[in-house]
Amino acid sequence: MLEMDSNYFDTFLQEPPRTKMLDRLWAFQKSKGYISDADVTTLAKKYDISEVEVEGVISFYHFFHRKPAGKYTIYLNKSMTSQIRGFSRILEAFKRETNAEVGSIDPTGTFGLFLTPCIGLSDQEPSALINFYPFTNLNSLKIREIITKLKKGVPVQDIYDKPKDNIQYTPEGKESIFFSDFKPGTAVAKLASLEPKGVIEALKQTNLAGRGGAFYPTWMKWQAAMDEKNTPKIVVCNADEGEPGTFKDRVLMNKVPETVIEGMIICAYTIGASFGLIYLRAEYTWLKHRLEEVLNKYREKGLLGKNCGEITGFDFDIRIQMGAGSYVCGEETALLESAEGKRGEPRTRWYYPVQRGYLQLPTVVNNVETFSVVTKVLDFGVDEILTYGVPKSPGTKIISASGDCNKPGIYEIEWGTTLKEMLELCGAKDPWFIDESGPSGTVLSMDDEDRPIAMFAELSSEQHIRCGGALTIFNKSRDIIDILLNYADFYKQESCGICTPCRAGNFIIERKLERIRGGLANKEDIDELKQWSVLMRTTSRCGLGKTATNSLLNALDKFEDYFNERIHVSEKTKNLKFDLEEATREYEHFKN
């Protein structure tokens, strides 16, 4: 097998040693299950930084441990889709079988049991990662079998579940844009005749907009990077698919990784980049090998490396950077910081990544799906793409559907499909509370069923649903407050922690929601929740804090009746509801 030319990167881009920090930490972590004091000292010396800085990086990522985390480290998904599929039973089963408590290891040090947010397997929950190998559709019996086998010394890689792609739907009577057969190199072969401006033009005509959920016009981003004088330039594929309920990128990378990599090559050609980086979330470690295989195949075919695709002077190669457990690293500037071997703290917009991105070089960051579409735009041709979808939103969109539906999985729908049609396709059972684009997206009710899923509104009066890629369905048996508390807990832990409204705000919101659950809230509490949500949205430093209260705000708005039933109506006495019995319960322990 042709190995990546290790000199390549050095020739075109001298990455400072520190960019290897996360890789080094992973090596320590894997070799003995945790990172020791000696390791910290070693790294501090190696990178000539203080130890507290190394500790800062380690403690930012929840898959790094400073204490032994077991020979087998189990990460059970605690996301909402896992909760409704029996999370608590599964957790009990793991505790029982492994003898480990949450957040620690069993007395023999064999098993470590930890909880983690969505691992991108919402279509096959409950699921867990054991040493980063996936185990899906868990039940108590299955857990007993798994743990028994591991105790007997059966290697994890022999017994894990290869996640199914669950592609449930592609456009009827048409060829799938994403999943149709694709011969590597077909799109790259068209580059020489198109030239960079031809690529930009094709993207413009197909109205391609960032599929990570922000829907920023891709051509504008690429054009800006193209215009930057500074070199070398960088292409980054954001494969840190952390939004709970989203798993489309997982399927793309597993099923059609060629289209993703080829999209990066097209981008590199267009903007004049010589260096590519795939930032892959640690939850998808099991996909790393697959991507590496494809990268090597591309190198063998001459599609990566020097003179890519026989285009003279076009040198480009890609390396994979593993994340280490942090949702905010899906934010592009946090991702860049993380790839540089630092804490994944988002940058301010003082500079945009196309101006100063990875290592302060001009950088295009796009989502997995965006690159995939780029390849298919060139492969299919603009005219063909325009036959899909609706005029202002041509093409198709991949939706990861999960929750209370009969057929969870991947849906490649044409833009313009209504929510109702989508719910019918996935066999939603009595849908009630529907989360679009995960917790940071919007909440939909059945009042929204006629709204189309689209990038842009066809008419100004149209209320389109701008879905980033997830549809999480909950039926009436689910309690909205449980869902919202699950989200609040998620954001409270996943905030990078450096700006006030997000770090403190999510914590405060959680306390307030607990008041509602405890039956102590009144109308004022609801009003304050709304005001504070808007405050966080207005003042947070990055997209995480700005969108963290989206679901909450929508829910308060669309499910007013639900909340009205749960609040206590203030009496005229001006006495607030206070649970004296609860407040004195602890003191009662001291009764002789």
Partner 1 sequence: MGKHVNITIDGRSILAEEGRNLVEVARENGFFIPTLCYFDHIDPPLGTCRTCTCRINGKPGPACTEKVREGMMVEVNDSELSDIRKALVEMMFAEGNHFCPSCEKSGNCDLQHMGYELGIAISRFPHLFKDRLIDYNAKRMVLEHNRCIKCMRCVVDVVTDDGKRVFSYQNRGNETYVGIDYEQEAKLSRAQAVEAMNLCPTGAIMVRGESMGQPFGERKFDRNSIRPDYYDKQFKAKKRKGKLTKKTIATASLAGCFGCHMSMLDIDTDLLDLVELVSFDKSPITDIKNFSKQCDLGIIEGGCCNEENVETLRAFREKCDILVSVGECAIWGGLPAMRNTMSLGECLEEAFLNCVTNEEGNTVIPYDENLPKLLDKVYSCREIVKIDYFVPGCPPDAQHIWKAVRNLLWDENYSILYSEFKYD
- Report if residue 173 touches partner 1, rule: CB under 8 A: no
d(CA 530, CA 71): 46
Q: Which of 122, 165, 167, 164 is nearest to 412 (CA)?
A: 167
Q: Which of 141, 138, 128 is nearest to 85 (CA)?
A: 138
- Report if residue 572 touches partner 1, rule: CB under 8 A: no
The edge-to-edge listing of strands for the beta sheet with 396-403 is 167-169, 409-414, 396-403, 470-475, 431-436, 442-444
- Report if residue 244 touches partner 1, rule: CB under 8 A: no
User: Which residue in 152, 183, 289, 591 binds partner 1 (CB under 8 A)?
Assistant: 591
Q: Are strands 389-390 and 363-367 parallel, antiparallel or unpaired?
A: unpaired
- Report if residue 349 touches partner 1, rule: CB under 8 A: yes
- Report if residue 584 touches partner 1, rule: CB under 8 A: yes
In our burial notation (b when 16+ CB lie closer than 10 A, e otherwise), range 267-279 reads bbbbbbbbbbbbb
In our burial notation (b when 16+ CB lie closer than 10 A, e otherwise), range 53-67 reads bbbebbebbbbbbee
- Report if residue 501 touches partner 1, rule: CB under 8 A: yes
User: Which residue in 50, 88, 387, 463 binds partner 1 (CB under 8 A)?
Assistant: 50
User: Which of 15-23, 271-279, 280-288, 583-591 is the region at the interface with partner 1 (rule: CB under 8 A)?
Assistant: 583-591
312 versus 573: smaller Cβ distance to partner 1: 573
Instruction: Give the nearest distance from C-beta 532 to partner 1 in angstroms.
Output: 7
- Report if residue 347 touches partner 1, rule: CB under 8 A: yes
- Report if residue 13 touches partner 1, rule: CB under 8 A: no
At 165, the amino acid letter reads D
- Report if residue 376 touches partner 1, rule: CB under 8 A: no
Q: Which of 316, 311, 295, 310 is nearest to 234 (CA)?
A: 316
DSSP code at position 304 = S
User: Which residue in 4, 20, 56, 311 binds partner 1 (CB under 8 A)?
Assistant: 56
- Report if residue 360 touches partner 1, rule: CB under 8 A: no
User: Which residue in 55, 106, 161, 292 binds partner 1 (CB under 8 A)?
Assistant: 55
477 versus 500: smaller Cβ distance to partner 1: 500
- Report if residue 497 touches partner 1, rule: CB under 8 A: yes
| Interacting residues of 463 by C-beta distance below 8 A, sequence separation 6+ | 448, 451, 457
- Report if residue 449 touches partner 1, rule: CB under 8 A: no
456 versus 507: smaller Cβ distance to partner 1: 507
- Report if residue 427 touches partner 1, rule: CB under 8 A: no
Q: What is the DSSP string of 552-563?
A: HHHHHHHTHHHH
Site string for partner 1, 525-544 (x = CB under 8 A): ---x---x--x--xxxx---
Instruction: Give the nearest distance from C-beta 504 to partner 1 in angstroms.
Output: 4
d(CA 466, CA 410): 17
- Report if residue 461 touches partner 1, rule: CB under 8 A: no
Do 570 and 523 form a contact (C-beta atoms < 8 A)? yes
Instruction: Give the nearest distance from C-beta 53 to partner 1 in angstroms.
Output: 5
Can you read off the two tokens belonging to residue 112?
A: 């470590």
User: Which residue in 3, 6, 38, 48 binds partner 1 (CB under 8 A)?
Assistant: 48
- Report if residue 523 touches partner 1, rule: CB under 8 A: no
292 versus 528: smaller Cβ distance to partner 1: 528
- Report if residue 343 touches partner 1, rule: CB under 8 A: yes
d(CA 191, CA 209): 20
User: Which residue in 49, 159, 220, 224 binds partner 1 (CB under 8 A)?
Assistant: 49
SS3 assignment, position 366: strand
Q: Is 475 exposed, middle or buried (0-12, 13-18, 19+ CB in 10 A)?
A: middle
Can you read off the two tokens belonging to residue 223?
A: 């054009």
120 versus 344: smaller Cβ distance to partner 1: 344
Site residues (CB under 8 A) for partner 1?
48-53, 55-56, 59-60, 326, 328, 343, 345, 347-351, 491-501, 503-508, 511-512, 528, 532, 535, 538-541, 573-576, 578, 580, 582-592
